Amino acid sequence: MAGSDKTQAEVVSPVSDQAMGAVPVATVADTEAALASAARGLREWRSASGFARADALHKIADELTRRAEEAKRMISLETGKPVAQAEREWTLAIDQFRWFAEEARRIYGRIIESRVPGGRFEVSREPVGIVGAFTAWNFPAALLARKVAPALAAGCSVVVRPSSQTPGVAMVMVDCMRANLPKGTVNLVVGPTATTYAPIMADKAVRKVSLTGSTRVGQQMIRDAADTVKKVSMELGGNAPLIVYDDADLELALNVSVPTKFANAGQVCVTPDRFFIHDSLHDQFVDSFVKRAKALKLGDGLDPSTQMGPLINAARFREIDAIVADAVKAGATLVTGGGRAPDLNSGHFFEPTVLTDVTDDMKVFDQENFGPIAAITRFTEEEEALSRANASDMGLSAYAFTRSPGRARRTVSALKAGMVGINSFALAASEAPFGGTNHSGMGREGGTEGINDYLDTKLAQIVF
């Protein structure tokens, strides 16, 4: 299978660094054909009732469930993440379609009393139109579902452009959708920016774009969207703080923070990067955290015993290596890790890494590391921890551990983030709004809020 000019691109395993296969690369003409297909699909899909759309999304969820074994293997192959994590991701993707199937039935308007005699205002909600969905490689199924499920529920058609590093997962998902939707409702293109992104952004018929990616890419998308005044929503980078107060349940904090930090080899936007540990607990926290990090089993994600897989590619490996070296040069203490995992000479396996004596101006603290690095510092006062935690342009997620309800409330109020976890990292759920503030993006995915960006509001004044 290839694009119209027969070009294909290899998909490389992060475990072996060897090609696993090839996928078609879209030309500009292919992307334009996908956009034309989406325009045709939109005409039929937008006229379907909310109940019909709900039924279709439930059927998609059924098909996704049927193909779960195939899908979790594909996720693990393309990303390197342990298969248990891949399975959880696929389950989350299915849940998005279930949730938004029901939201499709609840797209309500309202009536407003008019000042005009015999008149009334009617407010209705309509699908925004064609949607461009741009997804990242770290959660290739869940991120796609978060965009496509609400778009379909709202009555929009979609052109999906996944990361070129994880196209197989998107192909499986789109295949599950197409069998249950009018032709042209969902379309898929894979390829470089010039042949995929550029035509989508230039097409004035595309009325909304959604991105999960870096802040730099998001800033460029905002600029590009301005030319045709598209709606934009985006989940961008994070640099999440984790505060462990002196009254925290230390065992709970350790039990959940170690697997969370090193899930997907740390390549998670909402993972904690900056660890603020109260001085009274710091040494005990570090000792236990390091022991648990060292005990993690690295390896091929398809091995059920694997707890952490590789980084996605050689470039990411080099970037993580440079971040650690920069921190050590600046005075941080490397407690464990810091390089290639022993006995794993192929692929991109980087050891779980813990740095202490980290200062706020170090790159490892100042910027999102997006890797298996826990950068740990001390604090003594609550206000100090909150002030330092907020000293970032990012605002996606933030976390704290405390036994005090009052301190918990103060922390939630003070932290600059779209999402805050107290004694928990469980923020991603289909029923809850997911997203950030500041340089971490705009808009929300999930929850009753998740469908709003895919709808236009229409007002009618009707007088008889």
**269 in active site:** yes
**235 in active site:** yes
Strand 19-24, strand 8-12: pairing: antiparallel
Q: CA-CA distances (angstroms) from residue 440 to 233, 238, 252, 368, 422?
A: 11, 6, 28, 11, 20
d(CA 345, CA 336): 19
Residue 163's closest CA among 39, 313, 299, 309? 313
**Contact assessment for residue 437 and residue 395, using Cβ atoms and an 8 Å cutoff:** yes
Strand 272-278, strand 419-422: pairing: unpaired
Catalytic residue among 89, 235, 351, 382: 235
d(CA 256, CA 306): 18
- Please enumerate in sequence order all residues whose Cβ is within 8 A of that of 50, keeping only pairs 6 or more positions apart, or say none: 104, 105, 106, 107, 153
Strand 373-379, strand 441-442: pairing: unpaired
Q: Which helix (H) or strand (E) holds 389?
A: helix 382-389
R_g of the chain computed on alpha carbons = 23
Catalytic residue among 78, 269, 368, 445: 269
Q: CA-CA distances (angstroms) from residue 68 to 61, 72, 173?
A: 10, 6, 10
Which residues are annotated as catalytic? 235, 269
